[in-house]
Amino acid sequence: MLKLDLKVLYNELLQPVIIMTGTAHKEPKERHTMVSTSTTPLELLVMLYDGAIDVLNKAEFHERNKDEKRMLYYISRAMSIVEELINSLNMDGGGQIAHNLQNLYVYILKELTLISAKRDCKGVENIRKILTELRAAWKQIR
């Protein structure tokens, strides 16, 4: 289990979040979550973890159903979300914790790249476990 100083994480690691319109990834009939202007950076971070976990579940579902195209689409979506997690880190003020999280996120990106290249979701469970533990740690701050 990850042991994190949650106040340090909240106060020092999160940079102001910019909500961008549009998306590089579009798929027909996909549900999009609306984010209110009163949503806190912490709530947005938890939403990113939720989104990553959700698309990893979808990737596994499509792999089981022999739909490689959709599986790869959802792995790509997970990679985009992890990139956003990296971008949300305050590397100047976050100290060693920010660097450790960055290294963890880079590890996750490498694993997702391997999964995509091999077209095999065998490593998804480990990634989902890491993201779930991080999500739970951030959620405790509320």
| pLDDT tens sequence across 20-71 | 333 444 444 455 555 566 688 899 999 999 999 999 999 999 999 999 999 9
Q: Which residues pair with 89 in a beta bridge?
A: 14
Instruction: Look at residue 39 in the predicted model and tell me its pLDDT.
Output: 81
Contact 78, 55 (CB under 8 A): yes
Mean pLDDT of 136-142: 88
Task: Record the pTM.
Answer: 0.76
Q: What is the second-level CATH architecture of the domain 6-14+38-139?
A: Up-down Bundle (1.20)
Mean pLDDT of 113-120: 96
Tens digit of each residue's pLDDT (9 = 90 or more) over 59-106: 999 999 999 999 999 999 999 999 999 999 999 998 998 999 999 999
Instruction: Look at residue 17 in the predicted model and tell me its pLDDT.
Output: 38
- What 93-96 contacts at long range (C-beta under 8 Å, 24+ apart), as own/partner pairs, is 93/12, 93/13, 94/8, 94/12, 94/13, 95/8, 95/12
